[in-house]
């Protein structure tokens, strides 16, 4: 493997050879254009960047200068920069970052120098996974997979990276973490998981270079309140953590049980809503008629936090079981989620603040002729499930297959990212398809890389 990857001098010589070969440069140019077109395909087909109900909440942050429930001011500022380009700047940058990370992953795992392999893998991921839908969407979801892959490369493939590549990967991590607090938690989870697993000999993971990666994660954590202060004047983390937890307790029936036992109680404002209470986190958080929306200043209030604390004391077993159930539920949810009929919050926001874009927005397929996602998921879901199974099998049979330790480490990193994301989103919010599907394509990428490596080894063996 070392002979394939080489050192810095070998990489420089190889790069010079590629540049000096016009034909090879032309092939890479064509492959790169093809990858970008594939990643942008959903937006090109739609006639506009893909939007989500939450998109407007992000863009509002720099415009209003306020912090919003679960909405990163930094990602909102990134979207605001793209307004003059009708948001094409945003999705082009997201797509370019994704393509670069895939090509870099291939190169650092002994599969580099093959433009058509890179294009073929991107084409397969475009058809069979959620990847292009997130790359072309005005949401920070694509940054979850980007940060996880960047962490893997910094930790396990550091010796195959040029200095500028290390810095660029660190930048991906640092910028991804403040873009969504769940991404920050996922990165911390991956780092801790790798640090623990590399100490267990049975896993036989390659040497983990944690120092630089840990520095990037620390910088990302620091940037969370700093970016909020720079954009909104509030030195704080993105708000809403306790409210999302409360929403999950509503969905699990814990809050309803508490109110049934405590009400009537004049100290509990929620007692006035017991007759219409629903066990649904989305209803609680986003429905205009929910108590959360009707009760002024309930978000982060003493009542909200007191109920969470009281229920932890009164029903500890119920809390643990509900959190485990939510985590496992989230772990198995990876259907691609694209909305057509529920984008009113974003549509209203764009109409008010970016009226010049509004006609084009409304002509887009997503608004003009909303499309169903079920046909896509008829392929995406089984492909993701098969990839998980294949990755697990590859890890169990890694010695028999002769799988390089670096590829085994990639599979482990993917599983850590999926597990950390499921625990954070399931237990601290509630299970939603989108939360896991934004990472599911990484499992397909890792499985495709293992398949490509096995095929290459077989071809080399046959040639000899």
Q: Are 426 and 326 in contact (CB under 8 A)?
A: yes
- CA dist 102 and 131 (Å) reads 11
Where residue 195 falls (left for φ over 0; alpha for ψ -120 to 50; beta otherwise) is alpha
Structure tokens that stand for 113 in this block: 């120098």
The answer to whether the bond into 381 is cis (omega within 30° of 0) is no
Q: Are 93 and 179 in contact (CB under 8 A)?
A: no
Q: Are 138 and 52 in contact (CB under 8 A)?
A: yes
Q: Please calculate the CA angle 107-113-116 and round it to the nearest 5 degrees.
A: 105
Tell me the CA distances in angstroms from 129 to 12, 40, 121, 157, 409, one per residue in order. 34, 14, 11, 25, 22
Q: Please calculate the CA angle 131-137-138 and round it to the nearest 5 degrees.
A: 145
> In a structure prediction context, what are the per-residue pLDDT tens digits for the chain, which is 464 residues long?
333 333 444 454 454 444 458 888 899 999 999 999 999 999 999 999 999 999 999 999 999 999 998 899 999 999 999 999 999 999 999 999 999 999 999 999 999 989 999 999 999 999 999 999 999 999 999 999 999 999 999 999 999 999 999 999 999 999 999 999 999 999 999 999 999 999 998 888 999 999 999 999 999 999 999 999 999 999 999 988 888 999 999 999 999 999 999 999 988 999 999 888 888 999 999 888 899 988 888 888 888 999 999 999 999 999 999 999 999 999 999 899 888 778 999 999 999 999 999 999 999 999 999 888 889 999 999 999 999 999 999 999 999 999 999 999 999 999 999 999 999 999 888 888 999 999 999 999 999 999 999 998 887 777 76
Output the pTM of the full model: 0.91
- 336 SS3 class: coil
Radius of gyration of the chain (CA): 23
- CA dist 76 and 365 (Å) reads 24
- CA dist 217 and 134 (Å) reads 23
User: For the chain, how are helix, strand and coil distributed in percent, rounded to 5?
Assistant: 75, 0, 20
Q: Are 162 and 211 in contact (CB under 8 A)?
A: no
Structure tokens that stand for 407 in this block: 């590829």
- CA dist 167 and 247 (Å) reads 38
- CA dist 233 and 225 (Å) reads 10
């Amino acid at each position: 493997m070392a002979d394939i990857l080489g050192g810095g001098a070998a990489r420089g010589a190889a790069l010079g050879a590629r540049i000096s070969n016009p034909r090879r440069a032309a092939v890479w140019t064509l492959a790169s254009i093809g990858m970008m077109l594939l990643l942008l395909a959903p937006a090109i087909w739609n006639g506009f960047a893909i939007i989500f109900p939450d998109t407007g909440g992000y863009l509002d942050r720099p415009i209003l200068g306020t912090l919003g429930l679960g909405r990163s001011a930094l990602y909102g500022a990134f979207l605001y920069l793209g307004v003059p380009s009708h948001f094409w700047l945003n999705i082009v940058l997201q797509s370019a970052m994704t393509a670069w990370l895939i090509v870099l992953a291939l190169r650092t795992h002994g599969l580099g120098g093959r433009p058509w392999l890179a294009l073929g893998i991107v084409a397969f991921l475009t058809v069979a996974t959620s990847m292009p839908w997130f790359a072309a969407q005005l949401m920070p979801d694509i940054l979850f997979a980007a940060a996880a892959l960047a962490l893997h490369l910094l930790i396990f493939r550091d010796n195959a990276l040029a200095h500028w590549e290390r810095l660029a990967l660190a930048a991906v991590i640092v910028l991804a973490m403040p873009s969504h607090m769940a991404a920050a938690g996922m990165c911390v989870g991956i780092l801790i998981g790798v640090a623990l697993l590399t100490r267990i000999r049975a896993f036989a993971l390659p040497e983990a270079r944690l120092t630089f990666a840990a520095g990037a994660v620390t910088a990302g954590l620091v940037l969370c309140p700093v970016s909020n202060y720079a954009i909104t004047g509030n030195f704080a983390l993105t708000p809403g953590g306790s409210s999302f937890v409360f929403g999950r307790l509503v969905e699990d029936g814990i809050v309803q049980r508490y109110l049934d036992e405590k009400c009537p109680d004049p100290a509990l404002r929620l007692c006035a809503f017991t007759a219409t209470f629903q066990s649904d986190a989305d209803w609680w958080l986003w429905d205009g008629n929910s108590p959360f929306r009707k009760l002024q200043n309930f978000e982060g209030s003493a009542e909200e936090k007191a109920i969470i604390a009281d229920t932890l004391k009164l029903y500890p077993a119920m809390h643990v079981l509900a959190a485990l159930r939510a985590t496992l539920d989230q772990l198995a949810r990876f259907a691609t989620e694209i909305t057509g009929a529920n984008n009113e919050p974003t549509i209203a926001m764009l109409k008010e603040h970016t009226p010049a874009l509004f006609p084009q927005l409304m002509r887009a397929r997503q608004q003009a002729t909303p499309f169903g996602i079920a046909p896509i998921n008829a392929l995406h879901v089984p492909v993701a499930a098969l990839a998980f199974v294949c990755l697990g099998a590859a890890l169990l049979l890694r010695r028999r297959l002769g799988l390089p330790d670096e590829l085994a480490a990639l599979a482990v990193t993917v599983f850590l990212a999926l597990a950390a994301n499921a625990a954070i989103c399931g237990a601290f919010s509630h299970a939603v398809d989108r939360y896991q599907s934004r990472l599911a394509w990484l499992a397909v990428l890792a499985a495709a890389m293992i398949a490509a490596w096995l095929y290459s080894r077989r071809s080399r063996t046959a040639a000899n």
